[in-house]
Amino acid sequence: MQFTAKQIGEFLNGTVEGDENAKVSTLSKIEDGAAGSLCFLSNPKYENYLYTTAASVVIVSQDFVATQPVKSTLVKVKDPYSAFSVLLDKYNEFANASENEVGIHSSSYVHPSAKIGKNVYIGPFCCIEENVEIGDGCKLNAQTFIGANSTLGKNCVLYPGVKIYKRSVLGNSVIIHSNTVIGSDGFGFAPQADGSYNKIAQIGNVVIEDDVEIGANTAIDRATMGSTFVRKGVKLDNLIQIAHNVEVGAHTVVAAQTGISGSTKLGSNSVIGGQVGIAGHLNLGNKTQIGAQAGINFDTEENKQWHGSPAQPLKEWMRSTVIFKKLPEVDKRVRELEAQIAALKTLVEKMTTTQTP
């Protein structure tokens, strides 16, 4: 399908600068823009591409002022990144319109006691155990497993290979990507006198609230007792470990390879970078921000930024980083001073010996 710059401007409540009849039929990155494509500019470091791109239409900020001639038609909006994400959603809807299948594939197993809503798709080789409830509009792609007594709300999308253990609860519009496991055993073992470990039964579950998206190969353990909670609007990247009885606060985002240990409560609207390690039984305040590869082993207050391992407040970490970079120079100077002190000691000793009667 084709759209004009004028149509895009009206859809996004933006203003058009240039040819309002310029047509686009595809989306692209600004550095790869070609005739007939639409792209956006939100990060200033990519501005140089605006003056060389062949894209027909570019979405920019409403206060953007070009410093060189621009060949493309500009659509000016309040927030280019958000506006482009809206267009990506619409483009994805058009692209996947032919994939709106419904029904149960003949190779899948659905227990007779399971309750399946309207317009549900269950793909090849899925397994739905007893007393499962699946809401209207859900899509379960190939090789999905839903354990006994689990519940899925409306319009959930589970990509191939997702495994949902028994008694798990998913809200509405939950998206889970391939090979993620929800409700696996919490990591609980009791040490014995002989040095061995006895497994502690994990009898709780996992509760995932509405509008959560979970990346591929992520694991969320069920609680020892009670529930592990992923609150409304949370976005989890790939390769994340959420341990038993953790609570991830609403609208929090967590980047790849982060691990959150058991019984920790992570506040709402927090931002966690990649490869962050968070110890167990902690309380992290709302709007906590943690930089990549940081290690947290203490409670945090609301609206604080942390970096480093062990983590420090942002300003302290920045000062420490400057000092750390200078350590080789400091080491060299210390060695030189030690040599000078040793030489002075030797000189003093010689002078003392010479002056002795």
Mind telling me the catalytic residues?
A: 244
Q: Sign of the CA dihedral 161, 175, 145, 262?
A: positive
User: What is the rounded distance in angstroms from the CA atom of residue 357 to the CA atom of residue 346?
Assistant: 19
On the question of a cis peptide bond just before residue 160, with omega within 30 degrees of 0, the verdict is no
DSSP label of 223: P
Tokens 């009898």, residue located: 203
User: What is the rounded distance in angstroms from the CA atom of residue 120 to the CA atom of residue 158?
Assistant: 12
DSSP-derived secondary structure for 280-326: SS-EE-TT-EE-TT-EE-S-B-TT-EEETTTTEEHHHHHHHHHHHHT
Residues in Cβ contact with 351 at an 8 Å cutoff, skipping those fewer than 6 apart? none
